[in-house]
Amino acid sequence: MSIAVIETIAELRTVTADARSAARRVALVPTMGALHDGHLALVRRAREVADVVIVSIFVNPLQFGPSEDLDRYPRTLPDDLARLEDLGVEAVFAPSALEIYPDGPAGTRVSAGPVGALFEGRSRPGHFDGVLTVVSKLLNIAQPHVVLFGQKDAQQVFLVSRMIADLNFPVGVEVVPIVRESDGLALSSRNRFLDAREKVAALRLSVALEAAESSADRGLDAVLAAAQSVLMGESLVELDYLSVVHPATFLPVDDTHQGRALVLVAARVGTTRLIDNMLIFLQSNRS
């Protein structure tokens, strides 16, 4: 059975309302398309936790800044549909920007707050306001029981989860672990922009995270030093940020912190900006 491609809000609401009335559990997998195995892992998990799986494919203009790659972002709907064909997806919601924002950029937006201005938000001002606004719209349109995101976009996961809790959306959140290539590179739609040499250089991000994890028993300073030493050894990698944050607050930890911590890294490799992260168990280096 071929996947239904839905382009209007009204049609999607009908599909999900019919599913709910039949007591079928609905999962939503929001994406911007250019699907890779990381996205497909979300879909497979959605299939496990729900009866009806909806994948949205929408390149959201609100989350791109003036100098960012909105026009360059890959749009590959026919290929995306082919990749989803055998995964039990009931429908793909592929609206136009006019359908989602009929009066132009939304006048009402969801604020990501202070955490939204850190890390990715510092490098991409307004990005997370755009993300939260479109996610809130998708949740209101689709009314799913569960929504799925990938851990690679850790700050997005944190902010979306907090928004859902703060604004009392009746939806559960499933977070799927990062999917990596065999060499360790985190899968990303932007990896296709890397040439052969840049792809080798991009591996430094995951190697830096592994070095950080190996140093976790020696404290925060050792973690940062180990990761920085890996990244500084590659001229094609221009570091944007490297930080260790508390998973519950997404704020940087200090050298007294012990326990779970998240190492974040973002860098430009050639002209392509990449992010990655890894959960570690940090020991304090202070007695």
User: What is the set of active-site residues?
Assistant: 39
Q: How many C-beta neighbours within 10 Å does residue 66 have?
A: 7
DSSP assigned state of 73: S
Q: How many C-beta neighbours within 10 Å does residue 180 have?
A: 15
> ∠ at Cα 256 (254, 257), nearest 5°?
75
204 touches 197 (CB < 8 A): no
Q: Is 8 left (phi over 0), alpha (psi -120 to 50) or beta?
A: beta
Distance between CA atoms of residues 152 and 175, nearest Å: 10
252 touches 263 (CB < 8 A): no
Q: What are the phi and psi torsion angles at 262 (to 5°)?
A: -115, 120
Which residue in 264, 249, 261, 250 sits closest to 285, CA to CA?
261
272 touches 190 (CB < 8 A): yes
In the chain the first and final C-alpha atoms are separated, in Å, by 63
